[in-house]
Each structure stands twice: as structure tokens, then as C-alpha cells.
Structure 1
């Protein structure tokens, strides 16, 4: 079976990029097609992969100002030629599911979620742009175009895989398609407890963009005696630093080793966003540390209330503070927390993705080429 992998774009490490790493281990000979690839901001593992980029990657300032070229991403993805492959496995939250394949190529899409900024979070993004009138207008026009393309490209996918039950429901709502659910992989052997008690700080590990809602955590910890460490980078960093007080430390981008060390030492991970799955809560739990999470999205599938963490119902400063107070009154068992994370281990992902891709390929051939 000759297989290719398609992915939206690679500008910094995140959950999607970790899935690509896992898929490369499963299909080491599969080239990876992506609109844009910035090796300087990616793990060294990617330098060993066969990564093939679109014309967008060669445009002026594409690596530093990639947001300017997002209107061309769909067009760039459509230019790749997949005629030589039996299967294309697209990994998508944006444009990768829109690859154009021939009749003999089976297209399986691991869709983390339909584009949230175009669908369920559209009005949230508009509200964020309320003081930028031209950008707000441009976003409306651009999003309208992308919604049309997004729905048109659904028919190019033969089989959908969702990364969680909540993502499966979004795919059914926006695309009217069913999806098998395979949770993203966590290599739990790389995330282990340190055998010691927690130190006196809370932790955030995230891209610092609006949708992650790190602002509510920073506001909740500002001017309190609780220490907060924030690992990650992104466009919201200047605003977050401005709102922070001396008990909040920003470490920027850090290596996997540093992140794992902080997971193992923190009191708890704060996770205020609504994610389709959310890798960081599972990584923290694999290290035996509990999670304080917003009660929505994938967190409801990965965190067990009162056993491996606590939830808060509103993305607000007061709700976060109340959740931290509640957390500090509960005793947590690191062994039990790690056991919960084992449900999402890489070995389970590898077996399920191999079996499903193989089964869908045979089903496709039997259905269309009897």
C-alpha cells in the first residue's frame, strides 16, 4: 500500500504536529504534503521526514508572516498530485481535507474539527475584532469564501476520522457526515511521574492565541499569592504579559524535556480552552498531575471530575479562581491519574489507525472497483 500524508501547515509545534510525528512512525515511507513548513520552529524530528511544500512556502516573508497568505492555503493544497498513491491520509483542521485525488486513490481524513473560526467560534472572533473595523470586514468576507470552499471540499473525503466524540458531533453538524473516533496519541512512556510531591506552582502549556483563553487564567492568578508558570508562544503574549503580575512567569517556547519536567513538578495544569481533544491535559495526567479544565470539548472525555482533576463551567476569572479553591481541597492519587492517561497511549492509536486505514482502503476498492 502506497500512502501519503497531507497536513494543513507547520509553523510551530502543537497537538497536530505531534500526531504527524506519530503517523510518521507508523508510515515511515509516507511523504508529508503541507502548504507551509517552517523548520526553524519545529522539532528536529521533522528534518528527517520527506516534507513537500506548496508554492506558498516560497512566497516572500511566508515563514514570518504566514497569516497574510492564508487566503491561498486552499489553492496551494489543491495543487499537489496524488495520482501515484493508494491512500491519502489527510490530517486537518483547515485545508488538508481539500486535497484533490483521483478515482483510484482512497482519501481518509483525520479531521480534528471543522474550522472553528469559520463555524462555531465565528462570532467570538468577530467580537475580538470589534475595534479593528477594516480587519473585521476583511475577516467576514474571507470567512464567507472559506465556508463555501470548506463545504465543497467535504465531498473529496471518502472516510472521516474524528479525534474525539465532540469533534465527531461537529463533523456531523457542519458536514452531515459520520466519523469513526480515534483519540490522538500520547506516548505515555515519555511522560512519567517523578516520584516526588508537587512544587508550589500551577502550569499552563499552550499556544498563546485568543482561542486558548489563557487570558482568564492570567487574570485569575494576577495579584494573588499563587505562582503560575506559562510555557508557550503566540500572538497574545504581549497582552498577557501586560496583564500579569510578579507571581506569573512566562518561559516562552521550551523543549519537550523542559515541558515534561514542569508537568511532573507542578501542582496542576490549567486548561481554560475548549479543545476538540487537548493533548496537554493527557500529558500532565501521564505525569501523575491533575488538571483544572474548562468543562467543555475534549476535556470532558479525558479528565474525570474529582479523580483526575476538576472543572469550571465558565471561561471567567471568578470561575477559574473558584476551581482552584475547589482543587486545593481535594487529595489526588498520582497512580490513578496516570492510569487514566494510559487510555490514550500511542500503541492504541497505532493499532487503531493501521486497522482502520487498511479496512477503509479495502472497502473503497470493493465498493468502487468490483
Structure 2
């Protein structure tokens, strides 16, 4: 199964490349560690995800023929087990970047799973939907699909030779869902502050500072609560993101809140560099944005839960609020006004989550599996 010259063949699998999020940034980092790897995914939308993927070799499932599914991968949910089963990977090692599907790819060689989280729609359906599943048509369909999908998901997890997870909370969820003891490997922050910067036209008049929230615009991200928290405050909030709630959030935003989407990395660097602090109100499995903000020396005001407990050093790189409510967020913002943060100390904390560190541990894990392969 060795490639030319006896060098092991490494492939990467990912659920779907249809959006610009932390998991997709991790895949780009994996590609930098294994530049010869082919990426296998169910759906690929070049316009919806990071442009760097255009430089990679991408193999897609039959579902990718549907433009409608490429634009909205959630519509494909009942079909994804079938689609993943039609993504066989012929390589000495496949590294599966998985939030619910990629860990099921059929592999001819070893399989190393990097788990961002067990599927939210199977194990945290109410948080994922933003309401009790029984109260909507989508939720009731999901409830009906959950028992067979969970059985499928647990069988998929059992095909892995080794499991890595991104945080303490995900390690605990993997143990609960699959009975697997996984090793924690935090992902790297994806935005290099030394890269090129490009002003965002809609924000240039706010270049003297604002609070920042960077997120997919989904119910469980609690972006609406943050927007409500700023209503009536003498503080500004910039929301960067895209998702189903975008129209609703734009309509509800008061004059001191602006919503922008579709930013390239150069624009995102400008947005981070001109912010004063990051707001992080969601229950995240890892929570990459505090590290991105920290790379620019900016502190984070975060929900005291989930992956933020791993990535934020209290009093050094940020502080916590107890619950994702407008009142709690507002109090955290007002308490932070005028507080001095040591930008150098914030950057020093973030350096512990650097890409070289991630690459060293990932390649070591991959090599361990390759060395164990008698082929």
C-alpha cells in the first residue's frame, strides 16, 4: 500500500466543505502538515468555503452533483450515511476530521479520527436546533431518524484505530457516546496576524474600536442574545458570520450593532486588529475564536463552559460570564470597559496553540499508526 519510493500515502476526510468555520481551518492545517494528501468529502462548495481548498485535490460523493445540497448541507442529513459509504479511501492512513460523518469513511489502511465533536444533531438536538425537537417538523424528522443514525454512528466510531479530540469536553462526550478513551490535541488558531490586512468598507468608520463576535449564525451560538445585550449600551458590537439567522439578526440589530459576512482572511485580520475585545457566548466544543483574537492581543469575554475552559486563561487572556443571557453578557461588557489587558501576555498564552505544535503531535500520532501497520 506504499506510494512511490515507499513513502506512506496519507489522505484526509472531512464531513463537508461547504462553509468557513473552525473545522475547515483545521483541515487546511492538516493539508499543510500533509501537502500531498487528497481530501475526501461528501459535499464541496468552492464559493462557500475557504479559497485555499481550490489548490487541493478534492474527491466528493455522488451527492455533490446537487447544487442545492452543496448550498445547504443540512438538507442532505438523511442521505449522508449513504454518501459517506460511497467515499472509499485507498491510502495507508486516512485522517478523518469528523463532526459526525467523516469517521465512517471506508478505509483500506489505518484510520486516525480527529473528532471536533460527536454529531450535535444526534446527541444535543435541542441545542443544535435552538428549540425542543418535538415542536417543529424538522425536529420531529430528526427524532425519527435519531435511533438508526445513532446505531450507524457508533458502528462508524468503532472503525477507528485511534481517536484524537480537540478539548476536554469533547473527550468526555466521545467517552459517553462511544466508550472510547481519546487523547486531547487542541487545534491551532487559523489566522496569522502577520498576514495581509484589508479594511472592511462597512466598518471603516468604526476603526477606533468595537466588541467583536465571530460565529456561524445558528441558534445554539447565542448570537441573538449578544445582540440584545448591546441594545441601549454606549458600546459597539460587530458580528461576523453567515448562517440561517443572518436576516433575522440584521433586522433586529440596533444602531450600535453591525452584521457583516463573506469576509476573506485579510478582512478578518483587519476586523480583529481594530477590535477591543471578543464576545464568545456559545457553548463550544473547542472555541477557536478566542485564540484568533488572542493572536492579535485581544481579550475574550466568554461563556464559562465548554471548550473555552481549555483555551482561555482567566485574567490573562480573558474572563468569563456565567450564562448566555443578555443580562450576563451586558454585565461582562460593562465590567470590562476601561480594563487594561497585557497584549504581550495574551499572545504568549496563544502561542501554546500554535500550528507547529499541532503538526508535531498530529504527525507523531500518524507515524505511530503507520509503524504499527504490518503492510
Q: Same fold (TM over 0.5)?
A: yes
Could you tell me how far apart the structure 2 residues matched to 1:29 and 1:22 are?
13
Q: Partners of 2:190 and 2:133 in 1: how far apart?
A: 41
Q: 1:187 to 1:56 in 2, by over 3 A?
A: closer
One of 53, 66, 74 as aligned partner of 1:67: 74
Distance in 1 between residues matched to 2:62 and 2:295, nearest whole Å: 40
Cα displacement (A) at 1:233: 0.9
Q: Distance in 1 between matches of 2:288 and 2:185?
A: 13
Deviations 1:133-189 (A, max 9, x none): 422311211233321211121111110001112211111111110111111112574
TM-superposition CA deviations, 1:52-106 (whole Å, max 9, x none): 0000101352223432221111211111222x3111110000100011224xx11
Residue from 3, 7, 30 that aligns with 2:37: 30
Shift of 1:132: 5.1
Choose from 232, 236, 251 the match for 1:227.
236
Q: Is 1:51 aligned to residue 54 of structure 2?
A: no
For 1:280 and 1:241, locate their aligned partners in 2 and report how far apart those are by CA, in whole Å: 21
By how many angstroms is 1:261 displaced? Answer: 1.2
Task: Determine whether 1:159 maps to 2:162.
Answer: yes
Q: Structure 1: how far apart are the matches of 2:107 and 2:185?
A: 23
Using the TM superposition, give the Cα deviation of residue 131 of structure 1 relative to its aligned residue in structure 2, in angstroms.
8.6
d(CA) in 2 for partners of 1:143 and 1:230?
33
Q: Is 1:313 aligned with 2:322?
A: yes
Question: Given that residues 129 and 135 in structure 1 are in contact (C-alpha distance below 8 angstroms), is that contact kept between their aligned partners in structure 2?
Answer: no
**Does the Cα contact within 8 Å between 2:217 and 2:243 map onto a contact in 1?**
yes
CA distance in 1, matches of 2:191, 2:246: 30
Q: Secondary structure at the match of 1:118?
A: helix
CA 1:60–1:251 in 2, change beyond 3 Å: closer, same or farther? closer
Q: Does 1:111 align with 2:111?
A: no
Change (3 A) 1:152 1:306: same
Structure-2 residue corresponding to 1:261 = 270
Which residue number corresponds to residue 100 of structure 1? 106
Given that residues 237 and 256 in structure 2 are in contact (C-alpha distance below 8 angstroms), is that contact kept between their aligned partners in structure 1? yes
Shift of residue 337, structure 1, vs aligned partner: 0.6
Equivalent position of 2:352 in the other structure = 343
The question of 1:91 aligning with 2:97 is answered: yes
The alpha-carbon distance between structure 1 residues 202 and 114, as it changes in their structure 2 partners (threshold 3 A), is same
Cα distance, 1:270 vs structure 2: 0.5
Alpha-carbon deviation of 1:211?
Answer: 1.9
Confirm or deny: 8 A CA contact 2:125 2:133 kept in the other structure: no
Q: Does residue 1:354 correspond to 2:363, yes or no?
A: yes
State the match for 1:186 in structure 2.
Answer: 189
Aligned match for 1:39, one of 36, 43, 46: 46
- After superposition, the Cα gap between the structure-2 partners of 1:134 and 1:75, relative to the gap in structure 1 and judged at 3 Å, is same
Q: How far apart are the structure 2 equivalents of 1:100 and 1:114?
A: 18
Partner in structure 2 of residue 204 of structure 1: 213
Displacement of 1:326: 2.0
Corresponding position of 2:148? 145
| Cα distance change, pair 130–246 in 1 and its aligned pair in 2 (3 A) | farther
Q: What is the CA deviation profile of residues 285-316 of structure 1, one whole-angstrom value per residue up to 9, with x for unaligned ones? A: 01000001001111111111122111011111
Partner secondary structure for residue 331 of structure 1: coil
TM-score, normalised to structure 1, is: 0.92
| Distance in 2, Cα, partners of 1:139 & 1:189 | 39
301-310 vs 212-221, greater mean Cα deviation: 301-310
Q: Indicate the RMSD between aligned Cα atoms, in angstroms.
A: 2.0
CA contact 2:133–2:142 (8 Å) conserved in 1: no
Structure 1 residue 222, shift from structure 2 partner: 1.6
* Closer/same/farther in 2, CA of residues 351 and 316 from structure 1, 3 Å limit: same
Taking structure 1 as reference, are residues 244 and 53 closer, same or farther at Cα in structure 2, changes over 3 Å only? same
Q: Indicate the residue corresponding to 1:334 in structure 2.
A: 343
Change (3 A) 1:199 1:131: farther
CA distance in 2, matches of 1:134, 1:168: 32
Q: Is the 8 A contact 1:188 1:345 kept in 2?
A: no
Provide the TM-score with structure 2 as the length reference: 0.90
- 1:327 Cα deviation from its structure 2 partner: 1.7
- In structure 2, runs of 5+ residues without a counterpart are 1-7, 198-206
